[in-house]
A and B are shown apart, each in its own frame.
Chain A
Amino acid sequence: MALDDSKKTREFKVVGTRPDRPDGIDKVTGRARFGADMVAPGMLTGRVLRSPHAHARILRIDTSRAEALPGVKAVVTRADFGAVPAHVADIMENCLAGEKALYDGHAIAAVAAVSASVARQALRLIEVDYEVLPHVTDVDEAMKPDAPVLHEGRQQETVPPGMSGNVISRCEFGHGDIEAGLKQADRVIERTYRTAATHQGYIEPHACLATMTADGQGELWVCTQGHYMVRNTCAAILGMDQGRLRVTASEIGGGFGGKTTVFLEPVALMLARKSGRPVRMVMSRSEVLRATGPTASTSIDVRIGMTKEGRITAGFAELRFQGGAWPGSPVGMGAMSGFAPYDLENVKTVGWDVVTNRPKAAAYRAPGAPMAAFAIESAIDELAHGFGLDPLEVRLMNGADEGTKSSYGPTYPAIGLKATLEAAKSHPHWTAPLGKNQGRGVACGFWFNFGGDTSVSLSVTPDGTVTLTEGNPDIGGSRAAMTMMAAEELGIPYDQVRTVIADTGALGQNEVTHGSRVTFSVGLATIAAARAAKAEMCRRAARVWGIDPDAVEWEDGAARPAGPNAGKFPPMTIRDIAAIAPKTGGPISGHHEVMAEGAGVSFATHMVDVEVDPETGATKILRYTVFQDAGKAVHPSYVEGQFQGGAVQGIGWALNEEYIYGEDGILQNAGFLDYRIPVASDLPMIDTVILEIPNPGHPYGVRGVGETSIVPPLAAIANAVSAAAGVRMTQLPMSPPRVLAAIQAGG
């Protein structure tokens, strides 16, 4: 059966409604089990010793006194792992340092003991001799030729000779002729923007429970965005066959990209292997902030030319991202995405991936895109206001549409950018009056959206209810969405389907829950699996009726003769067919395994009103509206939730959040008191407008929605604060002292 049937107009019965989520009761009663909530008989507590230095050579680690402490059952260091395959070498080094500690908080050794207090004592008994080395934590400093260099031999062939070894790679995108385009402009703006590193800030710290038997079989319970990834990575690091390691995903307390890699898991498995006991490891909040995935901090130069009518004649951006101590900042995606909302004749972006003495950046919701959008959308806004033009009209005039050659190369199919802009223009928010010290900002954002390896199984139970088995951790209500799509396709009520997230033993490979892929990819596979089960049920009915299977169709949860020529038989419901399944050929199920491709790109426009206190520089968010294309909103409440959550993370990034390093290279704010994420009293309601421009790559038209919502807010808020304060803000976060200093310098 063809999957590409979104062009048919379809009346949905379940999709688009707002049923209760299947895991709701577990989550509101405290019964849901997260990473740290699991126990095993004889379980030990594992803890990690971390580097107090930003950059240091490890001369010696002596664990003998720790091992001798009563109650300590195992101590591990990098030496316990030996050589690991190249594709996991950096991950291994991040889990436990080898020759050098590369950032404050870098794991050095770990212990497993009978209690947390014994484990803490044992850490104090591990002796480490460090040779402290010069360090660098700022991206621009790290690119200087005389900067301390973290790694030798990691620079890629794209980097011109003579640059610091910290510069790992260069990428360049675009088309046309920038200089020629700039000459056609009535004004060219040239600005440098900076953004601070922020953390995903999930409320659940990393946690896992590992078991290894003497015959080399492993079990892992872990909070992760992808337990298949955890299995594959840990197996490679520990030199195990993947089939010998079974990984079960716990409920996950937020991830936002930060749980797409491993930190504790290989260490816990090694401690379990050495001790012969189950080992549970749970990070503290300060460990989460010091040693797990913040995003890149950035420094971005922008040059944009515009005519006085508002046409952008050329756009150029040079983006420098530090992604922590190993290669792999998301600068490429920043460079590809920044100008993606616009139809430009002349556009070019250059990206530099840089390493510094900071924790390795992990993915964070639309990795790389928010920072690029901040710079570019700020510059476009400044140009528009400079000419006295309406910033929404300028964006509409230059906006990308179906057939536009995008800034990163491909030509767009049907896209929703202009629909979001039109919706913003006609929304009452746009014309609402503003008071003194208040300003309004808008900005657009783009994200690619992904597909990837997906495997699901749908089984019809003997009583005709349905179990859907999938392999992607549910991070924001996706079980509800899958249940709805299965029910829709089978024509049965929502409560007749139960969706289970299986361990790695139950299904084929499933790519991590990332890239806004799950509702798209797993949904696509769910629909295909349901169709396979329906086809089988039609065959069973056909045999019972003694007619050709092609003469049977499925409608409203039952097999029916397709038209009057097929014969006159009363419909056989899914219950009827399931009840006699043993007599008609055995169990009924549907499977689908796919490398899902064709996730449609996504666009959003955000609008925000702020008030800036000129005495303190403090910013208050007064009103916020998100306009985003969802393709088709399966469960609109959770689509709204993604829009709202992304916007508020963006508010934090714009106004408060930042990694603050001292001269000593030590993180100074490794706690939620000083690393301040938005709280309820900081915010107004976040209004949402869901647009639905169907994605031709999904049978119901679904697009991913999870990430795009964090792309526009940095710029939208900067544009609003700049309007309110009367001075252009080019550095994030726009914390009160920084805004106050800008006001005082400007006035």
Chain B
Amino acid sequence: MVKVLLWGSLADLAGGAREVAVEAATLRELLEGLARDHPGLRPELERGVSVSIDGRIYNDSWFTPIGPESEVVLLKRLQGG
């Protein structure tokens, strides 16, 4: 299981926990697992999120591996100028 840190307003939609555990070995499995286990998160996931894995930020790369000890943080989708 991978521990995923949610930002505050998402935690409210996932039952109040700031950290949730998901069975996932890749970014794709992580996003699918979150949507499956926490339907309240689906609208935000559909709007797009960024994910920090061990301090590196990813947007879309499905097959990015995630280790069981990885630090995973969900972030609002980032946009630059």
Contact = CB atoms under 8 A, between A and B. Distances in A.
A520 to B, nearest CB: 11
B8 A173 contact: yes
Nearest to B12: A158
B71 interface: yes
Interface residues of B, number: 31
Nearest to A200: B81
Interface residues on A, range: 35 or more
B7 A367 contact: no
Contact of A409 (B5, B12, B59, B78): B5
B57 A348 contact: no
A707 B81 contact: yes
A576 B10 CA distance: 60
A652 interface: no
Given A260-B81, A367-B79, A170 B9 contact: yes
A171 B75 contact: no
A515 B61 CA distance: 18
Contact of A158 (B13, B58, B60): B13
A616 interface: no
A514 B80 CA distance: 5
A282 interface: no
Interface string B28-46: 0000000000001001100
Contacts, number: 106
B54 to A, nearest CB: 8
Contacts of A169: 9
Contacts of A157: 13, 40, 43
Contact of A363 (B13, B40, B73, B80): B80
A161 B44 CA distance: 18
Given A157-B43, A597-B64, A410 B52 contact: yes
Interface in A363-377: 363-367
A452 B25 CA distance: 22
B3 to A, nearest CB: 12
A595 B8 CA distance: 28
A218 interface: no
A366 B80 contact: yes
A395 B16 CA distance: 33
A515 to B, nearest CB: 2
Interface in A401-420: 408-413
Contacts of A367: 79-81
A410 B76 contact: no
A115 interface: no
A517 B18 CA distance: 31
B78 to A, nearest CB: 5
Interface of A: 156-158, 169-175, 200, 256-258, 260, 330, 332-333, 336, 348, 350, 363-367, 408-413, 447-452, 514-517, 595, 597-599, 697, 706-707
